[in-house]
Structure 1
Amino acid sequence: MDFTRAEMQCLIFQTIQQVGSPSQDVERTSHAVLVDKHFGHAMLEQLEISLQRVSENWESWRASASFSLLARRTLSLSQSPEVRARALDYVVELRSVCFKWLGRLKNRAAASTDDKQRSELHSRATEIALLCTSTYDVEDVDFDIILRQDSAISVLIQSSIIIQENHDSVQSEHQALYESLLQSHRAMMYRVFESLSTFVLKDSTGLCDAITANWASFHPTAASDWCLLEQPHHHWLAINSNTLLVHFNLLTAELLVNGLPLARLSSEFMQHEIIVPRGIGLFIVLVVVSPSYLRETKEFSSSRDLSFHNSFMVASHQITCLHPRDHLLPSSKYRHYVRVNDSWDEEDEEDEEDEDVAERYKAMMKMQEPLPRIDLNH
């Protein structure tokens, strides 16, 4: 049996969640064996061995998804305290392995120079993020135990942010199974919402760590705490970070900075042919609203620290682009992609590969009106 195949994952998911014939006991006939504590220990022992075998290979994530469901089914049906404790420990270990895979894929995607490969890596990262959040999909009575585990809230929110940012663009080997996992994630977030909000309002360390991991410039104001908005928006949390108002949605993991999404520019920028030339093959730095907006009339900065240049700004009709690997090089390497103070390096226009960029720049200079400014008050 090849647990890494999508077909095997579908078979196990269907078998485990099948209702089966009724019996005289609470458990269905096909589930009765899981009540036996000896079977529970034997099951978990094999799951522990299997996880050790695949822990260094992220491509075995589908096998781990099956392991997760088997462990959580054992947890939900067993009445033995020892089996339940062992199942909870196993879920923690599985989550740690998957989160390590997630970090590797994010780093590889950030360093990739190929659009197709980067898209593939983001797709796999999103599916592994769904695997991470599946480890929280336990019975309601176990939510408090799960959320008290070390780094549990931070991992849940970081994984959910990745899902939120990429779920629409995922290209899965088995699209129907992916949609099912995505729906299970959304249902779980609704179920865990009350417990999660209670934990976060008592101690926001996990939430702050998760946001900082996705936005390097996040610095909550010392005198400011996260607060829930009033009904019917009580799933939104708000806090001040320097001069910025930050909102976070506990249900969808959507992060807004002064009302703008964290991970992308507004449609005015992204749909502009001159600023984002088609076919140029550039990678646009993830951007967020910058605290320097009020001081310097600039609106965006990078969402993560980059070597040599940890902040790239956008003024009224100026955008900074760079090749993914160029964050390791001096700015002169990509100066011909950047407009600074209405200047252009004429020497680079002689290169054939830059001619199209230069022409687009000249056309932009002839524009009568600058691009629309983004109103941060809306």
Structure 2
Amino acid sequence: TQHGWVQDQKNQLGTTKEQCTLQISEGPYCNLQFALNSCSHTQNMVLADQSKCDKKLTLHEFVAYGSLRAGEQLQWYNMLRELASSSLSFNEPPVVQLFKQAAWEFGSFYHDTMQRVSHRAFEDSNFCGRLLEVLRRRLEMIEGNWNEHAALNLLVTLGVRSFCFSGGYLSSQESQSFILEGFAKFLRDCREVALDWCEQLSHDLHGRDKDQSQRYQDLILKIAKLTYDVDSNRIGWILHSARDIFCLIRSSILLFENSASDIDRLSHNDLKLALQNAQRIRCLLKDQVFSIVSENPAGLNEAVGRILWYLNSSQTWEQCNGADGWLSACPEGTSQILQQQIHFDVLMGELLVDGTPPGRLPQRFTANGMYQRLFGCTALPVMPSNLPGISFVSAQLCGEFEVHFGISKENQVFIRARSPTHLLQLLPQTLLTGDFPDQFVTEYFQWVDLQTGVIEFRALGQPWEINLNDWHARPDQLKKLLWKRGRRHWSMYTASCFLKLRVSCSHWTPRSIWSL
């Protein structure tokens, strides 16, 4: 009826285009929203609107931005031209939005086929080759600077879309395989750059304030999974080797470690979308991951081995019954290493050791003087230690060392550092006070090698570096310390020091090392 809520739609179909169009936030590009809304405008129309150019933009930038999508069939050619030039800054969010809108939007059908007018440029193998060349050149320009994360995000998006379109538009099977392999390699190169940045930023997270950590965390989440976001029928092109598995699992672990447990409570929409997108990608890849790991677990073992270095590269994994997405492994123990059950969730990136995820070190350890001297106010993430009589081990390596934290029989905190070739224990300053010059006590960390009894004096700024020019002291049977630095040797009588060392170290090393 005339007053009813249902009215004639005049044969117009409903559309979701407005909801699928990226919106420019306030800033110098806000007058150019029309360039994202459609591709029906022309370059002449952009030139005629020069008066709308914001004073923070050059006229050249205004025209280049507004003209990128001028003409539905010309969009990819225009993007290729701008990628090869320096007219636009690819670290500007509105520029990234413009390119993504052009790459993501389907556009109109080409005649009665499933192909789209917007992406017919990929029918030309020469265009595909030129685009691949320009993308590679752009990646080389930014790979050494993680501040170019927005540009990397864009390059990966264009690489993924180009990979998908090249497989559907090229008619020649030979050309199609060649171009697909080229874009797959480009995505792997982007993946390596992203993972290198993630590793750097993951270490930086623990030394920065909360706000800074959140920003870097956001960056990691945005770049960690993009290179795997391809159509399901082409997953095998970008995920088939042990290195592919390593990059996927390593980025998943970093992603889980640095993200909130409840995605829905996140206040930043971009961060929430990045996490949800990462989960979606892992769900698509799950079966492929299981298939590869069952045949060659080296990639998974290398990724988990970045945290549990004792894990053998040939360690086998099994799918957990009744737990979708979980894999389990049980490395063999030794007389000096406890056997532990390891679980990994492919869908979430969660790693468990004996059923326990990485957590924070209890205050009893972080309030200890040795800990504060070594790590300051940083609260290290830890997990259960596999050394007998020790409670925790750092979830990340310090240099090449795992750091273990335990409580002695005398109820005292002690700290050990273990590498594949060394097992050291940190000595408290009070133990050496009065027996050594003050400089040796206050300006060095004193580590004792539990296998040889040698005391290493490492500079305060280099607690994890092995340097032959550092001071070394070894006890002998004559109640003397034999000193060595480089080629210089001498001895010092210090019986009281021996007594204190033997009492302090009796709970963790054979008496023969410190016998008098």
Establish whether TM, by shorter chain, passes 0.5. yes
Amino acid across the alignment from 2:351: L
Question: Contact 1:189 / 1:251 at 8 angstroms: preserved in 2?
Answer: yes
Question: Contact 2:153 / 2:222 at 8 angstroms: preserved in 1?
Answer: no
**Change beyond 3 A, Cα 1:178–1:29:** farther
Pair 1:188 & 2:281 matched: yes
Amino acid across the alignment from 2:238: I
Pair 1:103 & 2:199 matched: yes
Question: Contact 2:325 / 2:347 at 8 angstroms: preserved in 1?
Answer: yes
Q: Structure 1 stretches of 5 or more lacking a match?
A: 323-328, 337-347, 349-378
Could you report, residue by residue, the CA deviation over 1:227-255 in whole angstroms, capped at 9, with x for unpaired residues?
A: 10113x13111111331111000111100
Correspondence for 1:290 among 379, 385, 388: 385
CA drift of 1:212 comes to 0.8
**Change beyond 3 A, Cα 1:155–1:85:** same
Question: Contact 1:236 / 1:248 at 8 angstroms: preserved in 2?
Answer: yes
Question: Contact 2:221 / 2:275 at 8 angstroms: preserved in 1?
Answer: no
1:189-208 matched pairs, under 5 angstroms: 189-208=282-301
Amino acid across the alignment from 1:206: G
Residue 119 of structure 2: aligned partner: 31
Distance 1:238 1:94 in 2: 30
Amino acid across the alignment from 2:161: R
1:277-316 matched pairs, under 5 angstroms: 282-292=377-387, 295-296=388-389, 298-306=390-398, 310-315=402-407
Distance 2:217 2:260 in 1: 13
Pair 1:229 & 2:323 matched: no
Question: Contact 1:123 / 1:166 at 8 angstroms: preserved in 2?
Answer: no
Residue 105 of structure 2: aligned partner: 18
Pair 1:176 & 2:264 matched: no
Distance 2:404 2:101 in 1: 48
Moved more, 211-220 or 34-43: 211-220
CA drift of 1:146 comes to 1.6
What do you get for the CA RMSD once the two structures are aligned?
A: 3.5
Question: Contact 1:217 / 1:304 at 8 angstroms: preserved in 2?
Answer: no
Distance 1:335 1:28 in 2: 75
Pair 1:64 & 2:152 matched: yes
Partner SS, residue 90 of structure 2:
coil
Residue 209 of structure 2: aligned partner: 115
Considering Cα pairs closer than 8 Å and 6+ residues apart, tell me whether 1 or 2 has the greater RCO.
1
**Change beyond 3 A, Cα 1:144–1:181:** same
Partner SS, residue 329 of structure 2:
strand
Amino acid across the alignment from 1:183: Q
Distance 2:399 2:220 in 1: 28
Partner SS, residue 259 of structure 2:
helix
Correspondence for 1:77 among 165, 179, 182: 165
CA drift of 1:334 comes to 7.8
Amino acid across the alignment from 1:67: L
CA drift of 1:166 comes to 0.8
Amino acid across the alignment from 2:108: S
Distance 1:308 1:240 in 2: 23
Pair 1:94 & 2:184 matched: no
How many residue pairs match? The answer is: 311
Identity of aligned residues (%): 22
**Change beyond 3 A, Cα 1:47–1:308:** closer
Structure with the bigger percentage of helix: 1
**Change beyond 3 A, Cα 1:54–1:320:** farther
Question: Contact 1:217 / 1:303 at 8 angstroms: preserved in 2?
Answer: no
CA drift of 1:330 comes to 8.8
Question: Contact 1:129 / 1:160 at 8 angstroms: preserved in 2?
Answer: no
Distance 2:101 2:413 in 1: 49
Distance 2:397 2:213 in 1: 21
CA drift of 1:315 comes to 4.3
Q: Structure 2 stretches of 5 or more lacking a match?
A: 1-87, 171-175, 334-338, 417-423, 432-441, 443-516
Residue 248 of structure 1: aligned partner: 344
TM-score (norm: length of structure 1)? 0.71
**Change beyond 3 A, Cα 1:17–1:175:** farther
Could you report, residue by residue, the CA deviation over 1:65-109 in whole angstroms, capped at 9, with x for unpaired residues?
A: 111111111111113222212111211221122222223333444
Partner SS, residue 122 of structure 2:
helix
Structure with the bigger percentage of strand: 2
